[in-house]
């Protein structure tokens, strides 16, 4: 039985990740930033027992440290961290350079970098120091994005933050390997979460699905399955890897 902290686990990919660990007998800390009701739904849907909810704003370094401390205290430790929480692309965060003023540009960049990169980095620090103090091995899996490689013209801060998250994970993989801690990332393409339902059922849906030669988008469960494998002891040798999960919609060379 492992103790697993999943950031941004109130819905979507985070909920699927929390579920797959719980289904295999692990205890999960379901982190959420603001949506307590959705996090409660995630918690109630987890099989097994001993799971908890942890609230905290990843934009705040002190709150981020408190998230890790609460999970350690309530679960009795943390063995796996999944950095999933993110400010995602949406109509509210669109910031194509030709369409926003300087104040909007600054606001979205700060918002995305504070959560998507610095929040993940600070949470990684807190969990890693806990593992090092225990002298225990562990796993960290970062949820990156296809956009880190192909770019996101309407959401450049999102792409830049995810690219930096991939690079951060690789740096941590090198420095943490002597401590038995593996660090990997997954880079999903378009995933059919609740948040994307309107787009997928609207006029853009067919275009989005056509990005992949499979003619569909990914599912949260597919991402969760990859995360579960990368967090396993059998995947330690994959440390430093960034795994593409985009249905051949974007091929890196």
Catalytic site positions: 158
* Beta-strand relationship, 3-6 and 138-143: unpaired
In which element (H, E) is residue 184 found? Answer: strand 181-188
> 27 phi and psi, to 5 degrees?
-100, 140
Residue 20 CB-density burial (10 A; 0-12 exposed, 13-18 middle, 19+ buried): buried
Helix, strand, or coil (residue 143): strand
Under DSSP, the state recorded for 120 is: H
The 3-state secondary structure of 65-98 reads HHHHHHHHHHHCCCCEEEECCCCCCCCCCCCCCC
């Amino acid at each position: 039985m492992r103790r697993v902290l999943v950031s941004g686990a109130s819905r979507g990919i985070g909920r699927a990740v929390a579920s797959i660990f719980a289904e295999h007998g692990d205890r999960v800390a379901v982190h959420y930033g603001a949506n307590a009701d959705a996090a409660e739904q995630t918690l109630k849907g987890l099989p097994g027992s001993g799971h908890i909810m942890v609230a905290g704003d990843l934009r705040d370094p002190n709150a981020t440290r408190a998230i890790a401390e609460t999970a350690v205290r309530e679960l009795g430790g943390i063995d796996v961290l999944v950095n999933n929480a993110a400010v995602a692309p949406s109509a509210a965060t669109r910031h194509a350079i030709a369409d926003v003023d300087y104040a909007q540009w600054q606001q979205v960049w700060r918002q995305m970098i504070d959560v998507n990169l610095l929040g993940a980095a600070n949470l990684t620090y807190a969990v890693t120091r806990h593992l090092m103090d225990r002298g225990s091995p562990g796993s960290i899996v970062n949820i990156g994005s296809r956009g880190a490689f192909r770019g996101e013209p309407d959401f450049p801060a999102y792409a830049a933050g995810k690219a930096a998250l991939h690079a951060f994970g690789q740096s941590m993989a090198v420095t943490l390997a002597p401590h038995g801690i593996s660090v990997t990332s997954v880079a999903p393409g378009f995933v059919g979460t609740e948040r994307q339902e309107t787009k997928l059922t609207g006029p853009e849906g067919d275009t989005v699905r056509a990005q992949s030669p499979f003619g569909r988008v990914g599912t949260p469960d597919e991402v969760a399955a990859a995360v579960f494998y990368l967090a396993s002891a059998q995947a330690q040798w994959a440390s430093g890897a960034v795994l593409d999960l985009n249905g051949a919609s974007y091929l890196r060379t």
